[in-house]
Amino acid sequence: MKSRNTEPLTAERAYQYALRLLTGRDYTAARLKQKLVVREVSGQDCEDVILRLQREGWLDDVRYAGRFAESALASGRYYGVRLRLEMRRRGFDSNVVDEALAPLLAERDEISEVRSAAERRYPGFSYSAASDRDKRRLVGFLQRRGFGFSAIMRALRTEE
């Protein structure tokens, strides 16, 4: 079995490596920096590569954060607090998260989002006719998605 080349990358090779990574998917600057550090790129070369990629438009945390948030909201994977936590986990700075989420969450109605997520997960669910176990199951599901408890209860109690 041939071992992988573990020689430290030069600045130009690190740039080429980063470009190859970015052709496959988006990365945050922090995550890309981690990838370069693993490949033993020196600290200064790493910073230079990140700055060059940002200057050339290949690496943009704000653009990536906006696209990620739009996708997560549209698919119903995450909402609210859970979306913020997921974005921070992925390496977005808190200012970038706030900047990306402010316009997206302002144009959405949390109550209708709760109803939509509940209908997708449990079609035809009736809160008033459901057992306590089913109610807890639905509320837990919605809370794990990032919806607030008060919004969940308002949406479920007023749906009928």
Across the chain, what does the average pLDDT equal?
A: 86
Q: What is the pLDDT of residues 82-116, one digit of tens each?
A: 999 999 998 898 999 999 888 887 778 888 888 88
Q: What is the pLDDT of residues 138-148, one digit of tens each?
A: 999 999 988 88
Find all residues with CB under 8 Å of 83, minimum gap 6, and list them: 69, 72, 73, 101, 146
- The pLDDT, as a whole number, for residue 92 is 92
Q: Is 60 exceeded by the pLDDT of residue 2?
A: no
pTM over 0.75: no
Residues 127 and 156: beta-carbon distance below 8 Å: yes
Q: What angle do CA 76, 101, 70 make, to 5 degrees?
A: 40
